[in-house]
Every structure is written in C-alpha cells, then in structure tokens.
Amino acid sequence: MDTVVAAPRALLGRTITGPAGVRISGGRIVEVVQGPPPEGAEVLTDGLLTPGLVDVQVNGAVGVDFAEVDPEGMAAVARALPQTGVTRFLPTLITAPVPVAVRQAHAVLAAAATLLPGAGAKPLGVHLEGPFLSPKRAGVHDPSLMVAPGPAELDLLLGDEVLRRALRMVTMAPERPGGMEAVRRLAAAGVLVAVGHSDATGEQTREAAEAGARMVTHLFNAQRPLGHREPGVPGVALVDDRFTLGLIADLAHVGPDVCRLVFNAAGGRVALVTDAVAAAGMPPGRYQLGGADVLLTEDGVPRSPEGTIAGSALTLDRAVRNIVSVGVGVADALASATIIPADVIGEPTLGRLEVGAVADLVWWDDELRPRKVWVDGEVVFDSTEVLKTGDVGLAAAGQ
C-alpha cells in the first residue's frame, strides 16, 4: 500500500519549497506531491522533510572500529546513525598492508551482509583510505605501512572479485611512484579516486584530475597546503570543477571562516563528511582507529597519544548545523550532506526527493535536529521513542 509523507517545507533538488511531500511504494518514491497534502497522508505539522544523509567517510562509531568489525558491531553502527539523519554510509578503513586491508574489507562486507531489513542505515561498500598515501602527510596513519600503488598491489585489490564489486572509493597520494597510472586503473574499474594524505603540487593535483580523480579527502587536512604561488591540493581543488570536496565541518579540522570560504568558492561541490571514529557517540575515553589508540577528551576531538587529531567524533547532522552557523544557507548545507555525496559516489537514486529515488527521508525540527528517519520507506528512528526509552546514543553526541 502506498504511503504519503507530507511536510510544510521540503528539500527538492537543492531548493527548499513547500508544502510538499512524497508518495512511497515498495521502498521508492513514486510521486512528489506539491501543495496541500492528499487525504490519508502522514502530515508532519512543522519542520522540514529532506532526503536521508549520505556519509562517504566513516571509520566507525559508538565504540566500533570498522578495522575490527563483527556483525554485532555493524548492527550497532547501523542502528545508531539514523539518530543523526544518516541513512547510507561508506565504511572507511585506514592504512594497513594491502593483504590486511583486503582481509579487513571482507570482514566489513561480511558484517554488512548480516544486517536485517529495517536494521537502520545501510552500508554502501568500502572506502580504503590508504595505504597509497604520502608519509609526508601521514596524519595519524602509520607511515611505515604506506606503499606506492604498484601493479601487484592493485592486482590484489581489483583481482579480488568480491572486493572489486564493493570497492567504492580509494583515497591516495597521486604523486607517489606509479600514482597516476593507479588513478587511471582504479577510475577505469569504476572506483572513485580521491586525492588525500598527499603532498601533491597544484600541477600534480590537476594531473590526477586528468587521470580520473574526482574527489579530495578532508580538504585542507593532511595535504600540501594552499599557498599564494603554489596552490597545493586545496588551491586547485577549489577552482577545478572536476573535484568534489570532502569537508570535516566540526570547526576543529577546518576553522569557521575557512569553511565559509570553501562554500563561497565551491559550495556546489562540497560533500560534508564526518571522518567519524569509534569515539563518536561515546564518552571521553580511549578508543581504537585501525588498531591504534585514540583518546577522546572533554573537548570532543579525538587525538592520538601524541596530540594529533585522529578522525572526529562529529555527527553529520551537527556538521550541517555547523555550516549553517557560519552563514551558509540551509538548502546548500543540506545538499552537501545529501545529493552531492550521493552523486560523487555514483548513487543517483540516493540523496534526493524525486520519482524513482530510494525512500530515505529525514524529518527535521526547526533547529535542524532529526525527529524521524525512514530507510527504504520504513521508519528506523523516531525521536519520541528515544525520549521514552532514554536510549540517546549518537543523538546526544550530535547536540
């Protein structure tokens, strides 16, 4: 039976309009309804209806590190993420030897395969953030495990039939020996190549785009910086329309003024990401990221024991609110967490309210906090139920 969900305002494309709603059948949107809601509709009396949020860089959450995930852990993350408006996510694995990364990826995929319908947010495959990175821009990744992307290493990734189908994104430093050929080979295999943890010059960054790279991982972080003569990775990314710009908008990785600058320069190409680690949604303490210790203190920013920022405890709904707080319009902020990441990852039925799209929905209150979330047309989070049970989890972390 068809279901209609209607709201006084809705994000259609990259514009907020209303009243509007959607008719759902079989987990898909079969009609976009504008104007007064039809009889029998579920009418949301206030707030805003949008597509579900899509996060293409998630290392873990609620105590779970995807490098050591099992079915129970994957289920916990899938259950928690809708509290923050996320309906689809890309599990991310940081630098490890290629055979280890392959084993970890298989564990992620096996755990994802055990999720039951209605379990919550859905994984989209695997994102490998390494090991083809630059030791000069290591961040908290272990430089000793980084390697150049030679033919043998790529054969291990692309020759594994299961992984080849699920490998959605690889973050790499294209300036490494064999890097440009690796970009071409991965892109030809349908993998989204992102420039990240890279000491590439502006010229090398453009060359990577020519070879098929289409994203920059966490803009400004762990990459050759912007200079007024040598633009580095961010300078080229901000002006080259071929790149989608991943941005960790916790206002610690990138300051408020620079976040606003990014949107002023390239707002239509920004994909908000969390880069969340196991510490997300958890109290201060010691957690894991790729097998290494990460410390979460009262400031809410995970760090290595040496003090280097190690991913984030950010939630994607808070990233949206943060971007709005620096002066970006609500529609643009929401587009950066819905349609833009969906498009760059090659998912044209996600991140939008239109006929044929997957019925992933978020109902937001007037303060841009998720009140109710649907995945494939089924409710997976309802804030009123959370209030009854007291199970706040990531919802509290997103405050």
User: What residues are annotated to the active site?
Assistant: 275
218 is in an annotated binding site: yes
311 is in an annotated binding site: yes
Pairing of strands 60-61, 53-58: unpaired
**Is 352 a known ligand-binding residue?**
no
From the number of C-beta atoms within 10 Å of its C-beta (0-12, 13-18, 19+), residue 332 rates as middle
Burial 344-375 (b: 16+ CB within 10 A, else e): bbebeebbbbbeebbbbbbbbeeebbbbbbbb
Q: Across the strands, what pairs with 364?
A: 48, 370
310 among annotated binding-site residues:
yes
Would you say 221 is a known binding-site residue? Answer: yes
Residue 25, classed as helix, strand or coil, is strand
248 assigned ligand-binding residue: no
- Whether residue 259 contacts residue 249, with contact meaning beta carbons closer than 8 Å, is answered with yes
Judge whether 111 is annotated as a binding position: no
Residues near 144 by Cβ (< 8 Å), separated by ≥ 6?
none
Q: Is position 203 annotated in a ligand binding site?
A: no
The amino acid at residue 258 is: V
Spatial neighbors of 308 by CB under 8 A, at least 6 apart, are 139, 140
Q: How many whole angstroms separate alpha carbon 52 and alpha carbon 258?
A: 26
CB 47 within 8 A of CB 7: yes
Kindly tell me the burial class for residue 188, based on how many C-beta atoms sit within 10 Å of its own C-beta (0-12, 13-18, 19 or more): exposed
Is there a binding annotation on residue 127? no
Which of 285, 230, 392 lies closest to 63, judged by CA? 285
- Indicate the annotated binding residues for Zn(2+): 129, 197, 218
- Indicate the annotated binding residues for substrate: 140, 221-222, 229, 253, 309-311
- Indicate the annotated binding residues: 129, 140, 197, 218, 221-222, 229, 253, 309-311
